[in-house]
Homo-oligomer: A and B are copies of this chain.
Amino acid sequence: MGDRFDHNGLEILTDEECWLLLGAHHIGRLAVVVGNEPEIFPVNYIVLDGDDGPSVLFRSSEGTKLAGAVLGGSVAFEIDAADPLLHTGWSVVVRGRAVEIERLDELLDVEALPLRPWGPGEHRRYVRIVPEAVTGRRIVHRPIDN
């Protein structure tokens, strides 16, 4: 296997493939560190194309654990899809920093986007993940021996 596969035999997706997959889906999971323990939340998201490249945008409630945990800190955001019967699937992870959108012009821009929060309740804060790295893996064959 060449450079396109990692040491586990998974196909390594290019950044472009990762962003195409991110753009085609709308529910992911955000992992953050709270008091040195991992937390994980489902979020609805969209990909925001900006002058500085694509980023991931989602909404958050005021005063929640999520809001407190993510802002300014490192986050890992994951999407995946799988076919358990065929044992195929892929996963994309975006690592970066979460920043709140506070500038009025930016808020007006994102308010116009078709972005719903994952659950009900008030989700007034817009959080953007500024990506530092995006990685993706795809299962391309059925393993024989395990």
Taking a contact as CB atoms under 8 Å apart, the answer to whether A9 and B76 are in contact is: no
> For window 86-128 of chain A, which residues contact chain B by CB distance below 8 Å?
87, 89, 91, 93, 95, 116-124
Min CB gap A9→B, angstroms: 4
Min CB gap A89→B, angstroms: 7
CA distance A13 to B125 in the complex (A): 26
| Of A14-22, A27-35, A50-58, the one with at least 4 CB within 8 A of chain B | A27-35
Taking a contact as CB atoms under 8 Å apart, the answer to whether A139 and B121 are in contact is: no
Taking a contact as CB atoms under 8 Å apart, the answer to whether B40 and A76 are in contact is: yes
- Please report A residues at the B interface, Cβ cutoff 8 Å: 7-10, 26-27, 29, 31-33, 36-42, 44, 59, 61, 64, 74-78, 80, 82, 84, 87, 89, 91, 93, 95, 116-124, 137, 139, 141-143, 146
11 new A-B contacts at CB < 8 Å, known A31-B39, A41-B78: A7-B121, A8-B64, A9-B121, A10-B119, A10-B121, A33-B33, A36-B74, A38-B74, A59-B146, A89-B119, A119-B139
